[in-house]
Structure 1
């Protein structure tokens, strides 16, 4: 999370994270019911889920490979921490789920030879969290065998309603549980204890409908009783009429059916493409309808992020950025559905954009203020008074000029605009903001009230002068511009920027750097040939994707200046991304 912590300062999020939703000044009706008080998911969950890509063929090896890739990609440092095993890990026979001695689903040992606990332990060893899957009810095989309910004198037949079958997508043959019967809650408790013993950190209950509210309530009680913090997610296409109940009992709830198109060439529509644009654009309406129910502790889940494997996933790069933007604005959980072992550089940058993640993690679900044809505008007010605004062209042909007035946004006077995808300041705007967008394109901006004085000037390291042996690299995500400078590991290695100043005087400059080693990499900072900060500390950032800012005040003359950062140890300088003058 080092990179996210750094981003919070740049994105003015720290205050938002410390304040309740009401303090943000957003115009929202109060939620009709209190959020779950289990203390979990104060911000939307982030991670990866097996369903979209792995689909019906999960294995222990595949899950470990995805966990390894989440680490290798650096996305875990951005906050993506859950590795969630979805459906089809179970063992089935002709009568449905094979069960253990207490009537609970048996794991297919051919797919998971080491067992679920060993898999969870492996994922935990990586500093990640493990998610799991279940559906409501009790298996037909448990009832046929009349298995005992662990720790009680009751048996499966005592609690099963065999006149009704629950929805299940795999082995089917799940009976309803009659919660008026003694032993019913104890059966769910037994299952929850097993999951907790295995090390489950996130539980998705699938196939939930309004008729399953007794199950949802029973699982809420059971998960709390384990004493283990388990993020509680409901799926899918839940009824908005029962939104107050979902909010009271769970940490997230799916607002629509699956985002996957099931239109790939493999069995059951598996393989690429995983989705299509219409599946994404259908989420705009549900996000608007459900907006009032989201808040700390409970989130509207728009389903998995179909980003990671380039255009083959079924979306263009513009559409994937719009996909990420909507999920961020809606404060939806960010659970990647693609193959993490084959991430493209473009998609790694989309998923790892700290400014987008900060918008998602601010704890505010945006509201829609423009919905006209292919034009959409969404906005949310943050704790520091900034307004984050997303503009979309949802069409598949033709450019659209999309606009929002400051009256619609609740902004009085001028506002300084920052493009949150690029991080660039685009100047001061009065009255309204408009942009011409390609089909499927989005623009995400932060509007800061007032003219804010002169805009900061950014100077990328890759366009600066640097010492021999230095290279411009792009292999560590999260940088600005086209790359960063990796200097030679030597005393005297340097990067020098040519910086303009409108007038003479002391000026704040910020150097953005990453130092993935355990030791500091101090540098001398010289202005116009004179050292003004000797041995300035550039401490470890934990990883090479953990970018951090160091700000210092230096004397500049009016006009052109040189600012040089020079390594003072044999390890050389840290990786340098840019210099920014206030």
Structure 2
């Protein structure tokens, strides 16, 4: 794996939370322009087109079982021109990728593991091989929630050539990030290795993201060797119950986090989301998370160094949401802290600690309960003694502390975030 990929947790936007299976080119471009104008200077750079970009009939969050897919003669899925007009004349995503790169940003796409059932039915030839789709398809390996694909038998001749053929095509489009779905639960180790080999030989440095979760903790060493980020949970949405669960999962995965390999707590379902869900009549909804819970999420993801992928329609962001995701002091912890660890957790509270680039210490205090609580930590336990300066990273306020114990009243579902030096 290149030592230059994902040295810090990737930060970007993904179309799933707001558009599901049906994002269109003009919507992607709107978010590209927003990211360049408001977020790029803070380190946000990946723009990721999620699932079904090859399905012309996609029109909502829902999947259409056995829908016809746009595909070339080699069984490789290509963008649907009715949704991505710049893909006409067999250009694929090249024009969209060029536009993203012209803004100083990076381009990502989502795929499902395997080979299209449509390709197997037509028994298309595999580019660069004398084998055909039926020779490599594992018809007993199917995604439980999407009907598009068969898995690939990694032991079959032609399997590597197929994955190399699609990855090389994506490289020609200019991709910098690939999210591969139905890969880590259950863990498709053989296909992970085929994809990684194809990426290593495609001529581009591409972030390799595995989805969905939970990825198997017992495969941590394999994941660190072959992937840049992997989901630690199923799809994460805007409920406190799901956020509460992420504390345990991030704690379990913490020791396996580091440059080029990041346990991924999933996207940030902030802002205007679910724009294509039928139950919201195409108008979507604003995140169910309270402002307090959103700060708690950003605090946890940052001190645990999970990738940040914004899920809402960014052009609809209000000023508060923009400020939430551009807090430079919080993002400093995400990008550059070290020695991050879950210091303590029970059913009612959690404490995380980390070190900074200049020997400063970070402490995050979380109230996981429904009542206000005083949460304390003895500073000598994190090697801090004497009079210190403590800075609240959300309030941007500093104060002196001479006590040997940091004790703070924390509201329900709140996360307090401090820099100490």
TM score, norm. by length of structure 2: 0.89
Distance 1:228 1:360, change over 3 A: same
Match of 1:185 in 2: 160
Q: In structure 2, what is the equivalent of residue 113 of structure 1?
A: 85
* Equivalence for 1:497: none
After superposition, the Cα gap between the structure-2 partners of 1:365 and 1:330, relative to the gap in structure 1 and judged at 3 Å, is farther
Residue 437 of structure 1 corresponds to 410
Tell me, in whole angstroms, the C-alpha distance in 2 between the residues paired with 1:315 and 1:399: 18
Alignment match of 1:208 (pick from 183, 192, 195): 183
Per the TM alignment, residue 409 of structure 1 is displaced from its structure 2 partner at its CA by 2.2
Alpha carbons of 1:168 and 1:151: their partners in 2 closer, same or farther (altered >3 Å)? Answer: farther
**For 1:165-244, what aligned pairs fall within 5 Å after superposition?**
165-167=141-143, 169-170=145-146, 172-209=147-184, 210-237=186-213, 238-244=215-221
1:547-580 residue CA offsets vs partner (Å, 9 max, x unmatched) = xxxxxxxxxxxxxxxxxxxxxxxxxxxxxxxxxx
TM-fit CA distance, 1:99: 2.6
Equivalences, count: 395
Q: Residue 206 and residue 429 in structure 1: after superposition, are their counterparts in 2 closer, same or farther (change >3 A)? A: farther
Residue 363 of structure 1 and its aligned partner are, at CA, apart by 5.0
Structure 1 residue 69 displacement after superposition: 1.8
Task: Give the deviation of 1:423 after TM superposition.
Answer: 2.6
* Distance (Å, rounded) in 2 between the aligned partners of 1:39 and 1:70: 23
Equivalent residues of 2:124, 2:132 under 8 A apart: yes
| SS of 1:366 mapped into structure 2 | strand
Deviations 1:256-296 (A, max 9, x none): 11112xxxxxxxxxxxxxx1122212110001000000001
Cα deviation, 1:353-403, whole Å, max 9, x if unaligned, reads 0000000001536212222332211101234322100011123x3211111
Give unpaired runs (5+ residues) of structure 1. 1-35, 261-274, 449-582
Q: After TM superposition, list the pairs within 5 Å mapping 1:284-433 onto structure 2.
A: 284-309=247-272, 312-364=286-338, 366-395=340-369, 397-433=370-406
**Cα distance in 2 between the residues matched to 1:364 and 1:307:** 27
SS of 2:86's partner is: coil
Greater relative contact order: 1 or 2 (C-alpha under 8 angstroms, separation 6 or more)? 2
Aligned to 1:255: 232
Q: 1:66-105 maps to which residues of 2 (within 5 A)?
A: 66-72=31-37, 74-91=38-55, 94=66, 97-105=69-77
1:426 is paired with a residue whose SS is strand
Tell me how far 1:97 sits from its aligned partner: 4.1
Q: Which runs of 5+ in 2 are unaligned?
A: 57-64, 88-92, 274-284
SS at match of 1:47: strand
Equivalent pair of 1:235/1:254 in contact (CA under 8 Å): yes
* Residue number in structure 2 paired with 1:136: 113
- The structure with the largest strand share of the pair is 1
| Cα offset, 1:59, TM superposition | 0.5
Conserved? CA contact 2:119–2:133, under 8 Å: yes
Q: State how far apart, in whole Å, the 1-side matches of 2:295 and 2:155 are.
A: 49
* 4+ residue runs over 3 A deviation: 92-98, 308-311
Distance 1:211 1:305 in 2: 24
TM-score (norm 1): 0.65
Once the two structures are TM-superposed, the CA of residue 98 in structure 1 deviates from its matched residue by: 4.4
Structure 2 counterpart SS, 1:236: coil
Q: Which has the larger radius of gyration?
A: 1
Aligned to 2:281: none
The correspondence for 1:56, drawn from 21, 26, 32, is: 21
State how 1:148-159 maps to structure 2 within 5 Å: 148-159=125-136
| Aligned equivalents of 2:420, 2:253: Cα separation in 1 | 25
Aligned partners of 1:191, 1:218: CA distance in 2, in Å? 12
